[in-house]
Amino acid sequence: MAISFTPLHPLFAAEVSGIDIAAPLTPEDAAAIDAGMDQYAVLVFRRAVPLSTDAQVAFSRGLGPLEDVAYTAIKAGKEARLADPHVSDISNLGADSALLERDNRRRLFMLGNRLWHSDSSYKATPAKYSLLSAHVVPPQGGDTEFADMRAAWDALPDWEKDQARHLVCRHSRLFSKGTLGFDFTEAEKTAFAPVPQRLVRRHPGSGRLSLFLSSHIGAIDGMSKPEALMLLRDLTEHATQRGFVYAHRWRVGDLVMWDNRCTMHRGRNYDDARYPRDLRRTTLTDAAPTLEQAA
Ligand code: OGA
Ligand code: MN
């Protein structure tokens, strides 16, 4: 059966059928998935049962190199619940699988996922695709929203495109989690040094331009802080209008893959003191820092 895509939104995001993602990935299927990603930027694979973490890692590797995990090793006192270092634990559970306490440092750190962002935009070479699978979902809330940053770019008036086109932003988790008032250790302050990224980048697979926004941005080169932060607020408000957003309501077994080069995403509120939410992420690395990519 051939892979097919059913759109989930007028602009982007599609559900995929005709592929068993638990089976070894053929080069033809990998190429078809890349083509679907280039067009839709968010792909949803629905399964009756969640993919095992080993199978998720294998499927992800079939699409390209995974992120270097050493970089993310400095975490907020994270006891590993999931053994594989290539799997990010996007849950509200501790190593003992119990709900994290309200003041747990990892829980507070993870609240940053509810700000609009692009994964690992704070790394010199940011993320390409992220793949998130649902093992346990809460009865209400906890959706993940995605914003189409190519459509957002296209919809900007020319004078605003000109204002943004050549800007370089500084990204760090100090900025994103800092806006929530999170306290960092001295080691984290050193490790989370800001990195430069283009504000407008060309998406190679589609040739389209895209806004590369993220809550990790805290400065724009050559601009005063108030001017930079105001411009970022304006652009983010524009880019996350409801018309540019697909909201994913999770079902157990779903695997959602998104292209961090041309989308932003955020988790939504849920009652995490009462209900477990167990999502697991694998992440592909991009080829180079955005400043080294063709504009
Ligand atoms: C992520 C993320 C949001 C969510 O996994 O990268 O931002 O809804 N998740 O959990
Ligand atoms: Mn994320």
pLDDT tens for 58-100 read 999 999 999 987 655 445 445 678 889 999 999 999 999 999 9
Residues with CB under 5 A from ligand 2 (ion): 119
Residue 41's pLDDT band, with cuts at 50, 70 and 90, is: very high
Q: What distance lies between CA 233 and its chain's CA centroid?
A: 19
| Residue from 266, 269, 270, 277 whose mutation best tests the ligand 1 pocket (most atoms within 8 A of CB) | 266
| Residue from 42, 56, 132, 275 whose mutation best tests the ligand 1 pocket (most atoms within 8 A of CB) | 132
Residue 146 pLDDT more than 90? yes
Given this model, what pLDDT does residue 70 score?
Answer: 62
Given this model, what pLDDT does residue 83 score?
Answer: 86
> How long, in residues, is the chain?
295
d(CA 127, CA 28): 23
Give φ, ψ of 219 to 5 degrees: -160, 155
Give me 159's structure tokens.
């004078």
Among protein residues, the one with the nearest Cα to ligand 1's atom 7 is 113
Assess contact for 284 and 128: CB atoms under 8 A: yes
Ligand 1 pocket, residue 203 CB under 6 Å:
no
pTM for this structure?
Answer: 0.97
Contacts of 51 (CB under 8 A, 6+ apart): 21, 22, 59, 133, 253, 255
Q: Which ligand is nearest to the CA of 88?
A: 1
Which value, in Å, is the radius of gyration of the alpha carbons in the chain?
18
Among protein residues, the one with the nearest Cα to ligand 1's atom 3 is 267
Query: What pLDDT, in 10s, does the model give residues 166-202?
Result: 999 999 999 999 999 999 999 999 999 999 999 999 9
| Residue from 114, 116, 265 whose mutation best tests the ligand 1 pocket (most atoms within 8 A of CB) | 265
Structural element, H or E, at residue 147: strand 144-148
**Residue 53, exposed/middle/buried by CB under 10 A (0-12, 13-18, 19+)?**
middle
d(CA 280, CA 294): 32
Average pLDDT for the chain: 95
Atom of ligand 1 nearest to the CA of 132: 5
Given this model, what pLDDT does residue 3 score?
Answer: 97
Atom of ligand 1 nearest to the CA of 117: 7
Give me 111's structure tokens.
């609240």
Residue 262 pLDDT more than 50? yes
Query: What pLDDT, in 10s, does the model give residues 209-250?
Result: 999 999 999 999 999 999 999 999 999 999 999 999 999 999
Arithmetic mean of pLDDT, 25-50:
98
Given this model, what pLDDT does residue 76 score?
Answer: 45
Arithmetic mean of pLDDT, 99-114:
94
Give me 135's structure tokens.
């093992």
Give me 34's structure tokens.
């890349």
Assess contact for 117 and 217: CB atoms under 8 A: no
Intra-chain end-to-end CA distance of the chain, in Å: 38
Ligand 1 pocket, residue 279 CB under 6 Å:
yes
**Residue 34, exposed/middle/buried by CB under 10 A (0-12, 13-18, 19+)?**
middle
pLDDT over 90, % of the chain:
93
Calculated CA dihedral for residues 292, 218, 179, 203, nearest 10 degrees: -30
Atom of ligand 1 nearest to the CA of 130: 6
Query: What pLDDT, in 10s, does the model give residues 4-14?
Result: 999 999 999 99
